[in-house]
Structure formats: structure tokens, C-alpha cells
Amino acid sequence: MEISNEIMQIWLPLVVAGLAQASFSLGVSMLTLLSGHLLAAPESTRRLHRLSLAYIVGSLLTITTLLLALMYLLDWFSMTSGEQFWAILTGASVGVGLCVILFYYRRDKKGTRLWLPRPMAEYLYMRIKNTRRAFEAFVLGIGAIVAELIFIAAPLIIAANLLLELTGWAQIIAVKLYLLIAISPLIILFISNFRGRKISKFQSWRERQKRFLQIAAGALLIILGFYLLTYKSLGG
């Protein structure tokens, strides 16, 4: 495959899939709340860094495991090059994109909240407030990814299928690039905390941009779906 073709058919949609995954908010919200609670405790700063790192490692390991498992399964079932499979993936991407735009946030009289059922959200609040050990933060990091699987499954499967079209070092670099993009909001929050920035600055920016992030995530998935339909399914 020519380099320009490879960029258009693999690297570009891979980056867009990573950005779509990075736009989902639950993981960042959980880390923000965890950071706030740890900072409010007297013996906090070193523990904050240790637990934040454990949380990020938990999330990163989960995404890596899911991505590699999907690559293995798709390769095993030889689905990678099938135009019909790409058609299914593009449909799923557009469908999930619409669901994100319509349902990812909901408004009530108290404000705009994530799609999570209230009992689940209350349990997460309670669990995060009581987190004091690195292992608990690690498990929360895993939980954040698993809880959003309903939305992140589509970009993950698309990324896995795209990655299978690469070989050797290019594939390894592409896997790392995808993981880096997907996890980048957590890394930005970690660096911001590490440098002693106020958490409210980060949180109020996110609060103001909630609607934008929701539309961005949905639109990216819809655009990705149509893009892949053209390039992969219709052979454009």
C-alpha cells in the first residue's frame, strides 16, 4: 500500500477513533473526583500522585487488553478484510455516534449529568470517596473503561480492525499511538495535578465544554462511519 493511501485508509481513521474514545467523559470525571477527595485529605499530595497513576495504569491496561484481544479475535475469525464486516462496523459507528449525541448527557433541574443510572453513579461517588489504596484506584480505572464499553466498543473494534492491516513496527507504533490518544485526557489531568494546578480550573473548563465534547464524540463517530463506508466498504 502506498504511504499516502496508508495514511488515508489506516492512520487517519485510527487517530479519529482514538479521539472519539478520548472524548468520553466518565474516566476523567472519576479521576477528577478522586483527585479532589485526595487533595482534601491532610496527608494528600504524594498519595494523590500514586493513586492517580494506579488509576491511569488500570485504564490503560484495560484498553490495551481489550484492543489486543479484539485484534486476536478478528484475526482468528479472518474478518479483517471483509467488506460486509466493514459495513457492519460503519453502521455501528454511526449508530453509537447518534446515541452519544442523543443520550450521553441528560439534563435535569440540577444540571447536566452523564447517562449513568443514578444508583450506579451514587455507588461510584461512594466508592471513590472511600478510595485510599493504590489497588482500589487501579480497579476504579478498570471499572471506568468497562462501564463505558457500550460507547467505546465501536471505536475499539474499528481500531483493532485497522491495526490488523499493518504489520511489524508500524503495527506496534500504531497500537501505542491509539492508546496514547485514548488515554490522553487522563494524562493531561495527571500532569495538571502534578504541577499543582487547581482542579477547579480543569473541572470548570469541562463543565463549560460538556455539550461540545458530547457533540464532538458523536460527530467524530458518525464522520468515521461514513469515512470508512467510503474507503473500506465501498472500496473508494
Partner 1 sequence: MTSIVGKIATDYDQERLARAVQRAAMANRTPIGDAKTEASQVIGRLERWLRDKTEITSHELRLQTATLLSDYDADAADYYLTENMLF
Among 9, 21, 23, 35, binds partner 1 (CB under 8 A): 35
At its nearest, how many Å lie between partner 1 and the CB of residue 230? 35
At its nearest, how many Å lie between partner 1 and the CB of residue 80? 35
Which amino acid belongs to residue 6? E
Among 9, 25, 59, 93, binds partner 1 (CB under 8 A): 25
- CA distance readout (Å), 160 to 46, 105, 128: 36, 27, 31
Among 78, 111, 119, 168, binds partner 1 (CB under 8 A): 111
145 binds partner 1 (CB under 8 A): no
Which amino acid belongs to residue 29? S
Residue 97's nearest CA partner among 184, 229, 233, 226 is 226
Ramachandran region, residue 24 (left: φ > 0; alpha: ψ -120 to 50; beta: rest): beta
At its nearest, how many Å lie between partner 1 and the CB of residue 222? 24
Pick the stretch among 26-34, 50-58, 152-160, 164-172 that binds partner 1 (CB under 8 A).
26-34
At its nearest, how many Å lie between partner 1 and the CB of residue 209? 12
Rounded to whole angstroms, how far apart are CA atoms 233 and 224? 12
Beta strands in the chain, from DSSP E residues, in sequence order: 105-108, 111-114
- CA distance readout (Å), 4 to 12, 204, 212: 10, 40, 31
Interacting residues with partner 1 (CB under 8 A): 25-26, 29-30, 32-33, 35-37, 39-40, 42, 109-114, 116, 121, 124-125, 196, 198-201, 203-204, 207
